[in-house]
Structure 1
Amino acid sequence: MTQPFDTSKPIYRQLADRLYWKILRNELSAGDKLPSVRDTAVEFGLNPNTVSRTYSEMERDGVVETKRGQGTFVTQSEEALTELRERLKDTHIRQFVKEMEAMGFEAEDMINGIQKYIAEERDS
């Protein structure tokens, strides 16, 4: 079963994010065909119009390409995929920093905490 969607953010954007993660984890590779709108709607329990909007947004982002009569495919543009990876990295860093600042941490605290975490993960 898939995770429920957050009501504070448009569902089509959340679905796009989930598909972007699949692309970044290589569950969907460059040139791979995405499931049909209908199959994706069933998988996530969504209206097909929502999935169609998601695919359109992903195409506008340059991450997928629609080939008439064939389906929607992950772009083969390494530049577009690198840009996606950087954009998601920046988004998560920005979110992390805002949350840490809201808890009263300074930049030095964050950096030290990240370095400690990475060192501990390497040792385990």
Structure 2
Amino acid sequence: MKYDFNNNLPIYIQVMDEIKKKIFNGSYLFGTKIDSVRDLALEYGVNPNTVQKALSELEREGLLYSKRSSGRFVSEDIELIENFKKEIIVEKVKIFVKEMEELGYSKEEIIKLIEELN
């Protein structure tokens, strides 16, 4: 799959975001091995060094961990992963609400629109 990266954001951050999506949506299960740097670089169409930087940052955040000579694995800390997921959701909702308010909608109108979609 070819990814269309945003020029306004470093590619390694966008790669991190894509890997986070796979963790959060269950494509990468807790404790499972993720694809190799080389495979991810091919998948995303980026330099392996870019993937390496993204994976290192995800390790630093605690979402991944390394096993010597075995590769990288998704954290088994479900609470940590759920907290990261919630932070992302809250941020996206704040952006959505702000944009809707800029269009002139009140919070009540936004809630009504969302309820109508369900």
Structure 1 length as normaliser, TM-score?
0.89
Counterpart contact for 2:3–2:45, Cα < 8 Å: no
Q: CA RMSD in A?
A: 1.2
User: Alpha-carbon deviation of 1:6?
Assistant: 0.6
User: Alpha-carbon deviation of 1:87?
Assistant: 1.3
Amino acid in structure 2 at the alignment position of 1:86: K
SS at match of 1:7: coil
Q: State, as a whole percentage, how many aligned pairs show the same letter.
A: 37
Identify the residue that residue 96 of structure 1 maps to in structure 2.
96
User: Alpha-carbon deviation of 1:98?
Assistant: 2.1
Provide the rounded CA distance (Å) in 1 between the counterparts of 2:58 and 2:27: 17
Amino acid in structure 1 at the alignment position of 2:116: K
SS at match of 1:69: coil
Residue by residue, what CA displacement relative to the aligned partner does 1:76-114 show, whole Å, maximum 9, x if unpaired?
011111112111211211221122122222211111111
Identify the residue that residue 36 of structure 1 maps to in structure 2.
36
Identify the residue that residue 122 of structure 1 maps to in structure 2.
none
Provide the rounded CA distance (Å) in 2 between the counterparts of 1:94 and 1:3: 26
User: Alpha-carbon deviation of 1:25?
Assistant: 1.3
Structure 2 length as normaliser, TM-score?
0.93
Counterpart contact for 2:41–2:51, Cα < 8 Å: yes
Identify the residue that residue 24 of structure 2 maps to in structure 1.
24
Identify the residue that residue 74 of structure 2 maps to in structure 1.
74
Counterpart contact for 2:65–2:72, Cα < 8 Å: yes
Matched, 1:108 2:108: yes
Amino acid in structure 2 at the alignment position of 1:99: E
Amino acid in structure 2 at the alignment position of 1:39: D
SS at match of 2:8: coil
Provide the rounded CA distance (Å) in 2 between the counterparts of 1:5 and 1:110: 30
